[in-house]
A = this chain, B = another copy of it.
């Protein structure tokens, strides 16, 4: 059976820290806040963690991994640009809704990291954005997306709008991640595609 309690506490701490960091920010959350949320004394956390920044790092690092590892196979697949974009949007929204706190912290609190770790996260954020740009670029070169798109700019618009979902999404709200993905894809795609007569009637 191995051990039961060991590591569980640590995961609880990480989960609670993620929630508080996402709600109040890194500097707005104290070690004692995190401890109190699981009915511990502040100092007791240090039996499980090395430092407050380590907590932030683990949350942000895990989010970076989640984003990158979900997008890479899509970009590398042999699908069409349109299909790639559709999947990429869905994948991004999957991470954003399934790991909401980590996504918010990843997007808003990376500045609180040490310079070395901040640089690491920024590099991976850039790599992610570059993968997204690749899809748009490919679509342009394949002639399915309009050639006059400002790819870096539009990519940023898309990613910003998608990341914003992490801030307002509520699992018990009226919209499922799939519905959000569909509405977003549907709307975004129209802005990208070259003008063609509609395929369906209506």
Q: Assess whether A108 is interfacial by the CB under 8 Å rule.
A: yes
Contact of A154 among B163, B167, B187 (CB under 8 A): B187
Contact of A190 among B156, B175, B184, B191 (CB under 8 A): B191
List residues 78-112 of chain A with CB under 8 A from any CB of chain B.
108, 111-112
Interface range for A: 35 or more
Closest-CB distance, A162 to chain B (whole angstroms): 9
Considering only CB atoms, which chain B residue lies closest to A29 in the complex? B27
Contacts of A111 in B (CB 8 A): 23-25, 28
Closest-CB distance, A87 to chain B (whole angstroms): 19
Contacts of A189 in B (CB 8 A): 191
Chain A to chain B contacts (Cβ below 8 Å), 28 pairs: A24-B111, A25-B25, A25-B27, A25-B112, A26-B28, A27-B28, A28-B112, A108-B108, A149-B187, A150-B183, A153-B175, A153-B180, A153-B183, A153-B184, A154-B187, A157-B161, A157-B184, A158-B161, A160-B160, A160-B161, A160-B167, A161-B161, A161-B164, A163-B164, A187-B191, A188-B191, A190-B191, A191-B191
